[in-house]
C-alpha cells in the first residue's frame, strides 16, 4: 500500500484546522450567532502507545433547559501522534485524526466554575507509515496502512471562566472505535486548553 508522505499529512491536518478556525471567524460576522472557540493540548493513549497533539472545538449555545445545565453543540477536530507498542515497524508512529460533532452540558456551580459533560460523535482515522519486512509478525493494529472508523464517546472535566471573553478548562475523553476488527480498545485522551468568545470583544 502506498501511503501519503508524512509532510503531506501534516499539511492536510493544518488545512483542516485552519478551515475550522476560518468558519468560526466567518460565523462571528453574522449577528445572533454566539460562538466559542477552544484550543487544547491533548495527550492520547491508543492501543497501548501514547503521544501528544492538539484539539480544536467550536461551540454555539442550544435553546435547551434541562437538568439545570447550559447546553452547546458544534464541531470538533483533533490530531495526535502516538507511539506504537508491540511488534511495530521500526521508528514508526501512529497518526490519529478525528473530526465530528458534539453536544455538551455544563453546570454553573459558582458563577466561575462549570463542570461539563460532552458527548462526541466522530470519524476517526489511524495511519502508520513504513515498510514491513517479509516474515514479520505484527499485530494488525500496528501494521503499516490506514484505517477509519465511526466513533462515539464521552468526555468530562471542568471549565473556569476568566472574564467575559476567556476561559480555561481541563478534562478527559474516551472514544469507542472499531478501527481494527480484532482490537476495539477505546482511545483515551487528557485535554488542557483555553476558550475564547470573540463576540465578547465587540461588546466592549
Spell out the domain ranges in the chain. 6-202
Say if strands 70-82 and 94-106 run parallel, antiparallel, or are unpaired. antiparallel
Assigned CATH class of 6-202:
mainly beta
List pLDDT tens digits, range 101-112: 999 999 998 888
Low-confidence ranges of the chain (pLDDT < 50): 1-8, 11, 22-31, 201-202, 204
CA distance 110 to 136: 57
pLDDT of residue 52: 96
Say if strands 166-176 and 187-196 run parallel, antiparallel, or are unpaired. antiparallel
pLDDT of residue 130: 72
Q: What pTM was estimated for this model as a whole?
A: 0.80
Amino acid at each position: 500500500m502506498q501511503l501519503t508522505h508524512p509532510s503531506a499529512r501534516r499539511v492536510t491536518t493544518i488545512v483542516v484546522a485552519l478551515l475550522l478556525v476560518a468558519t468560526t471567524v466567518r460565523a462571528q460576522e453574522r449577528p445572533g450567532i454566539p460562538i466559542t472557540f477552544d484550543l487544547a493540548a491533548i495527550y492520547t493513549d491508543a492501543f497501548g502507545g501514547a503521544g501528544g497533539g492538539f484539539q480544536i472545538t467550536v461551540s454555539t449555545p442550544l435553546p435547551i433547559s434541562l437538568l439545570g445545565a447550559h447546553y452547546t453543540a458544534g464541531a470538533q477536530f483533533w490530531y495526535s501522534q502516538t507511539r506504537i507498542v508491540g511488534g511495530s515497524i521500526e521508528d514508526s508512529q501512529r497518526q490519529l485524526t478525528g473530526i465530528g460533532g458534539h453536544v455538551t452540558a455544563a453546570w454553573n456551580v459558582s458563577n466561575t466554575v462549570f463542570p461539563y459533560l460532552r458527548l462526541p460523535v466522530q470519524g476517526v482515522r489511524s495511519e502508520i507509515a513504513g515498510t514491513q519486512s517479509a516474515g514479520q509478525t505484527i499485530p494488525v493494529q500496528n501494521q503499516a496502512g490506514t484505517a477509519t472508523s465511526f466513533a462515539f464517546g464521552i468526555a468530562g472535566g471542568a471549565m473556569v471562566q476568566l472574564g467575559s471573553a476567556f476561559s480555561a478548562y481541563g478534562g478527559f475523553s474516551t472514544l469507542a472505535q472499531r478501527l481494527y476488527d480484532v482490537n476495539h480498545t477505546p482511545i483515551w485522551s487528557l485535554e488542557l486548553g483555553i476558550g475564547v468568545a470573540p463576540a465578547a470583544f465587540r461588546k466592549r
